[in-house]
């Protein structure tokens, strides 16, 4: 019988003659592999799943005009198309454009947004709308606006547009940037803050005197009558805005122009999202004629990053604990197996067996336990990960073959590493002492 055949014969006997001990080693490796593979699968899938879920809560990136001229004219269609193409390179993206104007209802200033209803509805699936979305001749008002006006679905309001307000808005935009333009919390807060500032300054500018008295132009209630089709309630800045179709706002203002804000929901986060923003801003620097400024929506992106960071930290902590427990479990089992074969090891060394050959045999035996446990544990871990993702996210995950291969290699490596101390002690056994005990 050749040495190689003898090696495999003894290895086979060592594994299957001590089935209970071998089973304990396999189970220790199995539990470790199942837990680690399940955690790793969830940790890989969760950021993507969470990113997709968070996209239902609105935009994570906004684009606004970068110059005073751009603010007065808005972002033209060609620029929006170019920016969308730049963002959409390698990412799924949804977008919606908003044109904001200052209007009056019952002489009180409000902000109206001209929107593409289909795009805004797809982007903001979390909006709670009572009634219908805007359509021709019908507007949707925020909850705060509805409460202030004392209106409900089906009511009619007269919305007035003043050219003086618009000119004052343009002059205030040209003189300085509004503080809210620098904000990245939400697109609505940026636009609404700008319009509110412009309206206030417009009121101050247009209060011309006639015969020593303030002009009563601001008390003019003339305008276009609209029906309130719906009321939106989000608990955010959207509640203080009136929404109408882009065509209705253009007709009300008597002119067509580009959007003040374009919101994007991009399937990216963290550094990847910041890279997209930097690319847009660099492209704008190269082409001043279509200069726009891109910003992340801090409220959304920070929530993504914080939650994912917490999950990853938890993953590493649990993984470390599982690794230690697996090492202890496999090491204890291998140590027990070695102690049971102490007399056999002494006899083989007395017959001339090399310590290195004995060590290799035990290492291979431990590796087999790790391989079997890793195969079974990876399969069980995948089932657990699928159940967990289906329960929490309502979605299935595919098997990550790279992660599976890593799980097998890690299981074998842990089993071999855990066997090093007991095997080193075994190879140092003095055969004379063992034989004397016999």
Q: What is the mean pLDDT of the chain?
A: 77
Which tens digit of pLDDT belongs to each residue from 357-385? 778 888 888 888 889 999 999 999 999 98
* Residue 114 pLDDT greater than 70, yes or no: yes
Most confident range, picked from 208-217, 234-243, 336-345, 394-403? 234-243
Weakest mean pLDDT among 11-15, 355-359, 371-375, 405-409: 11-15
- The span from the CA of 432 to the CA of 438, in Å, is 10
Most confident range, picked from 64-78, 192-206, 354-368? 354-368
- The span from the CA of 262 to the CA of 44, in Å, is 31
pLDDT at 135: 95
Which tens digit of pLDDT belongs to each residue from 67-76? 765 567 888 8
More confident residue, 433 or 216: 433
Which tens digit of pLDDT belongs to each residue from 285-328? 666 656 788 888 766 556 666 777 777 788 888 888 888 887 88
* SS3 sequence of the chain: CCHHHHHHHHHHHHHHHCHHHHHHHHHHHHHHHHHHHHHHHHHHHHHHHHHHHHHHHCCCEEEEECCHHHHHHCECHHHHHHHHHHHCCCCCEEEEEEEEEEEEECCEEEEEEEECHHHHHHHCCCCEEEECCCECCEEEEEHHHHHHHCCCCCCEEEEECCHHHHHHHHHHHHHCCCHHHHCCCCHHHHHHHHHHHHHHHHHHHHCCEECCEECHHHHCCCCEEEEEEEEEECCCHHHHEEEEEHHHHHHHHCCCCCECEEEEEECCCHHHHHHHHHHHHHHHHHCHHHCEEEEECHHHHHHHHHHHHHHHHHHHHHHHHHHHHHHHHHHHHHHHHHHHCHHHHHHHHHCCCCHHHHHHHHHHHHHHHHHHHHHHHHHHHHHHHHHHHHHHCCCCCCCCHHHHHHHHHHHHHHHHHHHHHHHHHHHCCCHHHHHHHC
Mean pLDDT of 228-243: 93
Mean pLDDT of 19-38: 83
pTM equals 0.61
């Amino acid at each position: 019988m050749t040495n190689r055949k003898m090696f495999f014969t003894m290895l086979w006997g060592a594994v299957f003659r001590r089935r209970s001990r071998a089973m304990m080693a396999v189970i220790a490796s199995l539990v470790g592999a199942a837990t680690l593979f399940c955690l790793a699968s969830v940790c890989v899938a969760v950021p993507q799943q969470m990113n997709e879920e968070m996209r239902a809560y609105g935009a994570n990136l906004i684009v606004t005009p970068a110059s005073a001229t751009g603010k007065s004219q808005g972002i033209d269609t060609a620029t929006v198309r170019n920016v969308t193409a730049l963002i959409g390179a390698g990412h799924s993206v949804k977008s919606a454009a908003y044109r904001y104007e200052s209007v009056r209802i019952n002489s009180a200033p409000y902000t109206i947004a001209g929107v593409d209803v289909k795009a805004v509805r797809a982007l903001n699936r979390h909006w709670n709308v009572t009634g219908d979305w805007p359509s021709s001749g019908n507007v949707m008002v925020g909850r705060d606006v509805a409460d202030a006006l004392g209106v409900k679905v089906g009511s009619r309001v007269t919305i007035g547009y003043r050219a003086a307000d618009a000119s004052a808005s343009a002059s205030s935009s040209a003189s300085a940037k509004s503080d809210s333009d620098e904000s990245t919390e939400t697109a609505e807060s940026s636009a609404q803050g700008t319009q509110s500032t412009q309206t206030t300054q417009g009121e101050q500018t247009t209060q011309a005197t006639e015969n020593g008295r303030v002009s009563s132009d601001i008390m003019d209630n003339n305008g276009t009558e609209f029906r309130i089709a719906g009321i939106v309630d989000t608990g955010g800045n959207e509640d203080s805005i009136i929404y109408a179709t882009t065509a209705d706002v253009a007709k009300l203002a008597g002119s067509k122009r580009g959007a003040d804000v374009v919101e994007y929901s991009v399937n990216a986060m963290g550094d990847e999202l910041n890279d997209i923003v930097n690319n847009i801003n660099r492209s704008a620097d190269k082409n001043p004629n279509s200069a726009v400024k891109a910003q992340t929506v801090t409220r959304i992106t920070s929530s993504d990053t914080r939650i994912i960071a917490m999950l990853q930290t938890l993953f590493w902590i649990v993984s470390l604990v599982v690794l230690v427990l697996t090492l202890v479990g496999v090491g204890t089992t291998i140590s027990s197996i070695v102690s049971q074969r102490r007399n056999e090891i002494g006899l083989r060394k007395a017959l001339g067996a090399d310590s290195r050959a004995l060590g290799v045999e035990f290492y291979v035996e431990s590796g087999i336990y790790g391989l079997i446990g890793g195969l079974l544990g990876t399969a069980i871990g995948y089932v657990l990960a699928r159940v967990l993702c289906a329960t929490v996210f309502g979605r299935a995950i595919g098997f990550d073959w790279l992660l599976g291969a890593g799980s097998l290699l890690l299981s074998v490596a842990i089993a071999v590493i855990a066997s090093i101390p007991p095997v080193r002690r075994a190879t140092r056994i003095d055969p004379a002492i063992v034989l004397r005990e016999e």
